Amino acid sequence: MGSMRDKVAIIGMGCTKYDDHYDKSGEDLLVEACYEAFADAGVTQDDIQAGWLGGGITGQTLAHALKLNFVPVTRVENWCATGSDVFRNAAAFVAGGLYDIVLVAGFAARGDAGGGERGIYGGGPEREWFVGEETVFAGPPAGTFSTFVTRYMHHYGLTYEQTKQGLGSIAIKNYHNGNLNPKAYFHKEITMKDYMEAPMISWPFGLHDCCVMPNGAAAAVITTPELAKKFRDDYVLLKGSGMSVGTKRGRVWDKYDWVHFDENVYAAKLAYADAGITTPLKELDVIAMHDAFTVVELAFYEDMGLAPRGKGGEYAAAGVFSLEGELPVNTNGGLKSFGHGGGSAGIHKTYEVYKQLQGKCGPRQVKGATLGMIHDQGGYPGTYTVGLHVFGTRD
């Protein structure tokens, strides 16, 4: 297979604050994010030769919002992996020489459909109730992934308390990181006591195991490395990419263990090989990954070779993935605290890594970061779509 390594550069990015935004439409949010990206890149919308969009039902949403001058705009859909796939498709056209400067954008604008104020991801509106100030959906996703946790406990012989300590450490970390990010939805800290005593959503998931579902948009302007030099010195390069799509085999195969995601493993092999990574825990400096539920981040550690099987919770509790740890994960607050973002999630994760590699993340900055990765995951245990991109500073 071919490679896009060092053939695509990000020269500008934009990202709205992720919030309820009752006063803004999806097009409003796209305009805000895209114009921040244009200003960051030093381009105008007239420089854009093509666009790719995640979210909505048609590429016309982006064309209408920006009044693009009849340039092609393609809408991509791949569940919660949409954002990374949007970037992947746009990058392929740049790497292949079809366009010089293109726009990547994604948005989520649910109105009240995402749970209203402080909606928490867990399922559909048919399973809705209020817990304090937070509207909780405990439909199929929360029920499915909580089953993954019970299987994980059984498979590795862990107690409820041991498992919850690991998952709680992930939630506490991501709340803390989000509290340092002005564009994150949640600005709060929680303790392990808060985590353990939270209302139960779908046993053993409590409220703090589920991510938040706000509205927002993110965008990137990408070009070739040769052209990037004309726009800025601190452009960021695409170093590797990997994608894997499941076949539902895990839903029916009696040997599927329900403690890992095959799609993560396959996508990681592709991305690591593309980027020349052999020891990810030591070589990567920062990661923004999919944590719709705490157990998804836990499995990510193990699937990606960052922690031994069955030890992801121990590594999290030991602070390996904290801001001060060996490999900071979800420095922006993750989906847990920053917000899911639907079709924009992979793009707002890229925004975080882009800013980290430029050294522009303030109190949550990872010192000396030069290589980062984003991870998107859409689907449910047994069949997934996973997208990974590795980004690095210019040589």
Residue with tokens 């029920």: 143
- From first to last of the 395 residues of the chain, give the pLDDT tens digit: 789 999 999 999 999 999 999 999 999 999 999 999 999 999 999 999 999 999 999 999 999 999 999 999 999 999 999 999 999 999 999 999 999 999 999 999 975 433 333 455 654 433 333 334 444 334 568 888 999 999 999 999 999 999 999 999 999 999 999 999 999 999 999 999 999 999 999 999 999 999 999 999 999 999 999 999 999 999 999 999 999 999 988 878 888 898 999 999 999 999 999 999 999 999 999 999 999 999 999 999 999 999 999 999 999 999 999 999 999 999 999 999 999 999 999 999 999 999 999 999 999 999 999 999 999 999 877 789 999 999 999 98
Domain assignment present for residue 98? The answer is: yes
Burial of 69 (0-12, 13-18, 19+ CB in 10 A): exposed
CB-based contact 47:248 (threshold 8 Å): no
**Widest CA span of the chain, in angstroms?**
60
Domain assignment present for residue 300? The answer is: no
Look up the pTM and report it: 0.94
* DSSP state, residue 16: P
Domain assignment present for residue 174? The answer is: no
Domain assignment present for residue 219? The answer is: yes
Task: Pull the structure tokens for residue 374.
Answer: 């984003």
Which of 46, 36, 54 minimizes the C-alpha distance to 351? 36
Domain assignment present for residue 57? The answer is: yes
Domain assignment present for residue 353? The answer is: no
Element (H, E) at 189: none
Domain that holds residue 63: 9-112+214-223
Domain assignment present for residue 337? The answer is: no
Rounded-to-integer distance, Cα 354 and Cα 91, Å: 15
* CATH number of residue 63's parent domain: 3.40.47.10
Which of 339, 300, 16 minimizes the C-alpha distance to 177? 339
CA dihedral of 152, 155, 161, 162, whole degrees rounded to 10: -90
CB-based contact 190:175 (threshold 8 Å): yes
Domain assignment present for residue 108? The answer is: yes
Element (H, E) at 201: strand 200-202
Into how many domains does the chain fold?
A: 1
DSSP labels, 254-305? TT--SSS-HHHHHHHHHHHHHHT-S-HHHH--EEE---SBHHHHHHHHHHTT
Q: Are strands 50-54 and 286-288 parallel, antiparallel or unpaired?
A: unpaired
Rounded-to-integer distance, Cα 130 and Cα 110, Å: 18
Measured in degrees and rounded to the nearest 5, phi and psi for residue 149 equal -65, -45
* DSSP state, residue 199: P
Q: What percent of the chain is helix, strand and coil (3-state, nearest 5)?
A: 40, 20, 40
